[in-house]
């Protein structure tokens, strides 16, 4: 019988993974929970209705009519006693209180509450129109609600990138240091095992775990939130696998010297934090000042997220993403080689 060390190491890594329920949870279930949770939180809702209280007075019926259909839409208007109106405003049950006086309307609201500020503008607008104001220029609204341009469409590729980063760093870095702490590595290097085989088996394991991971995240996006994958699925998978490899290399480098799990956990957070914040997972990095952009684009997750969005949302081909792919390859390979060189086995 022929024995192949790299294959056996890789098989052991795969078995070890799927026999560890926690690892399976964090790799597959957690991203699913996250995508469902965020998707629900940021789903497109019908336009928010504005709660308006009108203080009971002689003019309150007119004001109420001016804020109710068929004259205006989008307001939940109630007429109450002054003391009740103020109490409801204080408790946040209403956004604005309208007081009809002889001099005109008095709006009572908290300027630090965004919905109150917007309510003031909308209420005033409706009341002024009802009173006969005409707009000098015609304006109409075009509402963006179709798949492809919603927030969830932006979010899903970002979450996928974030998972690939987390999986590579935790899945490799943590496991490696854990094996070092438990002296498993020491026993392995006491054998004639090729050290590069061991490190390659970790990366190879990550590759296998990545395929279902991508399927879970994108599948949830497609089934639950109608995400449209406009590029080729094979291209998406190729970008994801390359990203997983690249982050595996980074994970190995992070873990190559650490003797304690606390150390590697801290290092990992230091590496990941800037990417969580800057690399465009939850919002576009274009919002940061321009002088920061070169630094942000040097982060591997930025490159991965950009490439994933280009392929998933814009239907770009792989060759068009050559720079990001090359960047990730160089980054991953460089980190792997440094890790192999500096790795602490004992």
Please report, as ranges, the residues that interact with other proteins according to CB under 8 A.
1, 3-5, 7-9, 11-12, 15-16, 19-20, 182-184, 186-187, 189-194, 346
Query: Cβ-count burial of 1 within 10 angstroms (0-12 exposed, 13-18 middle, 19+ buried)?
Result: exposed
Closest CB to other proteins among 201 and 305?
Answer: 201
* Residue 194 CB, nearest approach to other proteins (Å): 7
Closest CB to other proteins among 93 and 183?
Answer: 183
* Residue 7 CB, nearest approach to other proteins (Å): 8
Residue with tokens 């465009």: 280
* Residue 166 CB, nearest approach to other proteins (Å): 21
Helix axes 151-168, 195-225, angle to 10 degrees: 160
Closest CB to other proteins among 14 and 79?
Answer: 14
Closest CB to other proteins among 90 and 194?
Answer: 194
Q: If you compute the radius of gyration of the chain from its CA atoms, what whole number of angstroms results?
A: 28
* Residue 18 CB, nearest approach to other proteins (Å): 9
> 50-55 and 96-100: which strand pairing?
parallel
Distance CA 193, CA 3 (A): 12
Closest CB to other proteins among 14 and 36?
Answer: 14
* Residue 19 CB, nearest approach to other proteins (Å): 4
Plot region of 108 (φ>0 → left; ψ -120 to 50 → alpha; else → beta): beta
Distance CA 31, CA 94 (A): 37
Helix axes 195-225, 30-41, angle to 10 degrees: 30
The number of CA neighbours under 13 Å toward the Cβ of 143 is 5
Closest CB to other proteins among 10 and 154?
Answer: 10
* Residue 181 CB, nearest approach to other proteins (Å): 10
């Amino acid at each position: 019988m022929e024995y192949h060390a790299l294959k056996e190491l890789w098989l052991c890594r795969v078995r070890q993974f799927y026999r560890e329920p926690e690892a399976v949870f964090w790799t597959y279930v957690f991203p699913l929970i996250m995508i469902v949770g965020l998707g629900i939180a940021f789903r497109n809702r019908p336009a928010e209705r504005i709660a308006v209280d009108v203080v009971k007075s002689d003019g309150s019926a007119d004001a109420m009519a001016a804020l109710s259909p068929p004259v205006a839409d989008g307001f939940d208007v109630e007429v109450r006693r002054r003391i009740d109106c103020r109490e409801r405003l204080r408790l946040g049950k209403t956004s604005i209180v309208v007081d009809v006086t002889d001099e005109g309307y008095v709006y009572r609201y908290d300027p630090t509450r965004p919905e109150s500020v917007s309510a003031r503008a909308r209420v005033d607008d409706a009341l002024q129109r009802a009173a006969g104001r005409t707009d000098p220029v015609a304006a109409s609204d075009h509402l963006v609600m179709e798949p492809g341009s919603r927030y969830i469409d932006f979010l899903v590729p970002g979450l996928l990138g974030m998972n690939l980063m987390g999986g590579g760093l935790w899945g490799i870095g943590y496991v490696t240091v854990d094996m070092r702490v438990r002296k498993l590595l020491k026993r392995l290097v006491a054998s004639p095992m090729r050290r590069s085989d061991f490190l390659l088996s970790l990366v190879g394991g990550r590759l296998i775990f990545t395929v279902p991971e991508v399927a879970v995240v994108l599948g949830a996006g497609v089934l639950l939130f109608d995400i449209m994958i406009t590029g080729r699925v094979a291209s998406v998978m190729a970008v994801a696998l390359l990203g997983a490899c690249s982050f595996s290399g980074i994970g190995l480098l992070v873990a190559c010297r650490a003797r304690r799990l606390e150390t590697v956990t801290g290092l990992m957070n230091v590496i990941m934090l800037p990417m969580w914040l800057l690399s465009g997972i939850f919002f576009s990095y274009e919002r940061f000042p321009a002088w920061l952009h070169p630094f942000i684009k040097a982060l591997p997750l930025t490159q991965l997220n950009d490439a994933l969005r280009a392929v998933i949302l814009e239907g770009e081909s792989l060759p068009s993403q050559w720079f990001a792919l090359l960047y990730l390859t160089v980054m991953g390979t460089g980190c792997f080689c440094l890790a192999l060189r500096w790795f602490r086995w004992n």
